[in-house]
Structures are given as structure tokens and as C-alpha cells.
Chain A
Amino acid sequence: NAGVTQTPKFQVLKTGQSMTLQCAQDMNHEYMSWYRQDPGMGLRLIHYSVGAGITDQGEVPNGYNVSRSTTEDFPLRLLSAAPSQTSVYFCAVRRGRTEAFFGQGTRLTVV
């Protein structure tokens, strides 16, 4: 029982490259979210989903795309990486208004 699995754990990208951060859960929770965490900024919501086929924008969606074709997976796509997207990314899953469980994070550097 893995809970929430994020891959990769570390990534270095060149400006303009694209990539997908993976998030998978085996908890069968309906809510999945992506956050980024920067020094002094706390966790900021990028995109979230309340179920398969339903996604919506959070606080800082620009430059990121998501899709939710299954309950288990919620990938985050960086379309054209920029240095401003250097951050730590966390995926979180939750059922209703209960505890959120986080993946271990992806540390992304864009050079």
C-alpha cells in the first residue's frame, strides 16, 4: 500500500523543455491537488481535481496543465519550463473534508 507516489523525486530541466510530473494514489480518494512550495510563500495551489474527468485551476495555474482520466492518476505537465518554475512540487489526495495525504515531493530546477 504505497499511498501517494510522486515521480520523479528530482529533476533538472533546461528553459523551454517540457515534462510531466506523475502522481499516483492507491487510496481511492476523489480529491487530488498539485501544490508548489517556494521559500516564504507556503504551499500554493496550482490545479486540483474533485474526481475523474473534472479539473480546475488553483491560485497559480499559468504554465501548467493537468488531466484526470482515472481516479488513481493526476499528472502535472509543464508546457515550456521557465526558471520561475523552479520549486518543490507536492501532490496531495483527500477524501471529503478529511486529512490530506502528500507525496514525497518533486524538487525541480529549471536552468
Chain B
Amino acid sequence: RKEVEQDPGPFNVPEGATVAFNCTYSNSASQSFFWYRQDCRKEPKLLMSVYSSGNEDGRFTAQLNRASQYISLLIRDSKLSDSATYLCVVYGSSNTGKLIFGQGTTLQVKP
């Protein structure tokens, strides 16, 4: 089993739609969680960190469920510019400096 798993999609949605991605992680001692965005095989860039209480940044909402070991990302009012691959990232439990990436979920927003 992979340490971090995501549904690869693709998710094809119309502009203005709400779309949600889930990610599960296997290590219950994992400490930090992030969502990254990657465009067309360019370098990944941080979209948002994920906090235990949940957090929001404009149209984006991230949530963490430690009991079920999953992380979610909700995108409201999708824009064409949201088309990208979204990577779920988990920081390991020990002080090893290892960030573990999910395989990514591809989102295509259509006019």
C-alpha cells in the first residue's frame, strides 16, 4: 500500500462547479499535511497547508480527518485557471525530513 494515495482522476468539471479531492495516508503518526499544485509538468508549488481545524483560502478549503487518516481539498466556483494536477503531500512522523507525495489528481475545468 502506498503511503499517500489519491484518486488520479481526471476530474472534468464545468466552470463554476464545486469539486472535491480526497487523499488518504497510511502513517497515523504523520504530522504535517499540504496540498500542492502542479501545472503541465512544471515544478510543484504550495497551494495551501492543511491544519487540524480546517482552513480556507478564498475558493479553496482544506480539511484534515486524523481519525480516518484522510485530507480533503474543496474548490468552489471552479475557474479555467484551476486546471492542473493537485498533489497531496504528507510529512513523515520522524525527524527525517521526508515529504511523501501522492500521485496527484488531475482537474480539467471546461468552459
Binds A, one of B66-74, B76-84, B101-109: B101-109
Kindly list chain A residues whose C-beta atoms are within 8 Å of the C-beta of B32: 97
**For residues 21 through 65 of chain B, which have their beta carbon under 8 Å from a beta carbon of chain A?**
31-32, 34, 41-46, 49
A50 to B97, CA, bound (A): 6
A103 to B91, CA, bound (A): 19
Kindly list chain B residues whose C-beta atoms are within 8 Å of the C-beta of A37: 41
A50 to B92, CA, bound (A): 13
Kindly list chain A residues whose C-beta atoms are within 8 Å of the C-beta of B103: 40-42
What 0/1 readout, one digit per residue, does chain A (80-98) give for beta carbons within 8 Å of chain B?
0000000010101010010
Interface residue B100 (Cβ < 8 Å from any Cβ of A):
yes
Interface residue A45 (Cβ < 8 Å from any Cβ of B):
yes
Question: Is A97 in contact with B31, judged by CB distance below 8 angstroms?
Answer: yes
What 0/1 readout, one digit per residue, does chain B (85-101) give for beta carbons within 8 Å of chain A?
00101010001111111
Kindly list chain A residues whose C-beta atoms are within 8 Å of the C-beta of B97: 30-31, 33, 48-50, 94
A31 to B49, CA, bound (A): 18
Question: Is B43 in contact with A90, judged by CB distance below 8 angstroms?
Answer: yes
- Known interface pairs A42-B87, A42-B103. Does A103 touch B43 (Cβ–Cβ under 8 Å)? yes
A102 to B80, CA, bound (A): 24
Contact of A42 among B42, B45, B91, B104 (CB under 8 A): B104
Question: Is B43 in contact with A40, judged by CB distance below 8 angstroms?
Answer: no
In the A-B complex, the 7 residue pairs with the closest CB atoms? A42-B103, A102-B43, A31-B97, A43-B101, A97-B32, A50-B97, A99-B46
